[in-house]
Amino acid sequence: MNTCAIVGINWGDEGKGRIVDLLTENYDVVIRYQGGGNAGHTVINDRGKFALHLLPSGIFHDGVVNVLGNGVALDPENLMKEIREVAARGVSVTTDNLKISARASLLLPWHREQDALEEARLADKQYGSTKQGIAPFYSDKYQKKTVMAGELFHPEELREHLRDLLEWKNLTLTKVYGSRPYTTEMLDGWMREWCEPMRPYVCDTGAWLKTAKAAGKSILFEAQLGSLRDLDYGIYPYTTSSNTLAAYAPIGAGLPSLRPDRVIGVVKAYSTCVGEGPFVCEMFGEEAERLRRAGQEYGAKTGRPRRVGPIDLVATRYGVEMQVATEIALTKLDVLSGMEKIPVCSRYRIRGEETDEFPFPTELRKAEPVMTYMDGWQCDISGVRRWEELPAAARAYVTMIENAIGCPISYVSVGAERESIIIRQS
């Protein structure tokens, strides 16, 4: 059987959507297994430029079945809006090409509100949330205070279940945050407007995947964010609220026996980070602004300027290890074209000692980057499709990264479009 996970190695926005879109034609099924509508996966193909949030990136390929697994934060309102948006641009989303797990928990209307209220309370100590309700959603899921998509098939019981949750959540909204309470009318309206149109897509995806597996279908897992944002292994508390690691894919996808036998880790040729938290290799000033502009580093979901820096070999090696990546796709190499010297964060210095080990989150604040420099190349490489045709300096840069992280780089991306890729034979 052919199963593959495409995951982020760093802070997210490595170009996962672009790599999933490239490889989807080899797969029958694409599954999102964690995270929610806070994702921004940019895909540029013959149908135009899209920023996907919750829909799997396989949605553009005819014949591919896309699955939203039980591990995702299922936001009916944003999902239905997204389905309508892509449909308006000629991408049809039907019950044949989109299946939603009956075991996926619903992001309820108050989760987005609670997210914003909490960020406002934190004032200058914000986490940098995208305010999509993801943290309150996962907290409530683990407190067993949300509902599952399959409950939509049992409207009477669901109404009662929601009523209990409403009573409980209103205590927090009104007494903790001094905000307005929700009413049953508001919930009924939300159900009618967003949940009912979503219901036809909901099914027992576990059973469906079991049949697909038995029939020898090939399956691709699409992750959101990257290793350093993993709730357990990332830079806590500046993580997301779910597990971004490939190891979680069998759980979040809906069939625990479905383990990825290939894990492609996506690494950007330099670093970017959205939101708060330690970012050891961060560059500032004009140098940063130039890189940000060259790479168009502004959030796909929020439009926020991303923090930028050189590639961080310490963090990347750790990310590769946590993902148990079997190979790497290196993206955005073209963005570095024209730089005279390319900075590389090769080690960290903590209290005067140099280290190759990625430290405990609290220690990370004390880490300083140890910089080295590689020769740049002074030509446009965006049209290159063969490894041998890359300038020697560009090949040296890729090979240096490969050796430092101990994982083969089998794809080198030199542009955002589907065909802008160099595939290296291993």
Residues classed as catalytic: 13, 41
Q: Which is nearer to Mg ion, 13 or 115 (CB)?
A: 13
Contact flag: residue 416 with ligand GDP (CB under 6 A): yes
Question: How many residues form the binding site for ligand GDP (CB under 6 A)?
Answer: 21
Residue type, 214: A
Q: How far is the CB of 307 from ligand GDP (least distance, A)?
A: 14
Question: How many residues form the binding site for Mg ion (CB under 5 A)?
Answer: 3
Among 383, 299, 286, 371, smallest CA distance to 333 is for: 383
Q: How far is the CB of 291 from ligand GDP (least distance, A)?
A: 12
Residue 65 structure tokens? 């079945």
For the chain, the maximum distance between any two Cα atoms, rounded to a whole number of angstroms, is 67
Contact flag: residue 13 with Mg ion (CB under 5 A): yes
Q: Which is nearer to ligand GDP, 12 or 319 (CB)?
A: 12
Contact flag: residue 220 with ligand GDP (CB under 6 A): no
Q: Which is nearer to ligand GDP, 17 or 37 (CB)?
A: 17
Q: Which is nearer to Mg ion, 40 or 343 (CB)?
A: 40
Contact flag: residue 6 with ligand GDP (CB under 6 A): no
Query: Which residues in 16-55 contact Mg ion (CB under 5 A)?
Result: 40
Contact flag: residue 44 with ligand GDP (CB under 6 A): yes
Among 214, 244, 255, smallest CA distance to 99 is for: 255
Q: Strands 65-68 and 98-101: what pairing?
A: parallel
Q: Select the span of 75-83, 89-97, 100-108, 408-416 touching ligand GDP (CB under 6 A).
A: 408-416
Q: Which is nearer to ligand GDP, 13 or 82 (CB)?
A: 13
Q: Select the span of 10-18, 150-158, 184-192, 252-260 touching ligand GDP (CB under 6 A).
A: 10-18
Q: Which is nearer to ligand GDP, 38 or 346 (CB)?
A: 38
Contact flag: residue 230 with ligand GDP (CB under 6 A): no
| Distance (Å) of CA 52 to CA 27, 61, 78, 259 | 19, 14, 11, 25
Query: What x/- string results for residues 307 through 346 when contact with ligand GDP is judged by CB under 6 A?
Result: ------------------------xx-xx-----------
Query: What x/- string results for residues 358 through 397 when contact with ligand GDP is judged by CB under 6 A?
Result: ----------------------------------------
Among 73, 7, 12, 3, smallest CA distance to 277 is for: 12
Which of the listed partners (ligand GDP, Mg ion, none) does 229 bind, with a CB threshold of 5 to 8 Å by partner kind? none
Residues in contact with ligand GDP by the rule CB under 6 A: 8, 12-18, 40-42, 44, 300, 331-332, 334-335, 413-416
Residues in contact with Mg ion by the rule CB under 5 A: 13, 40, 300
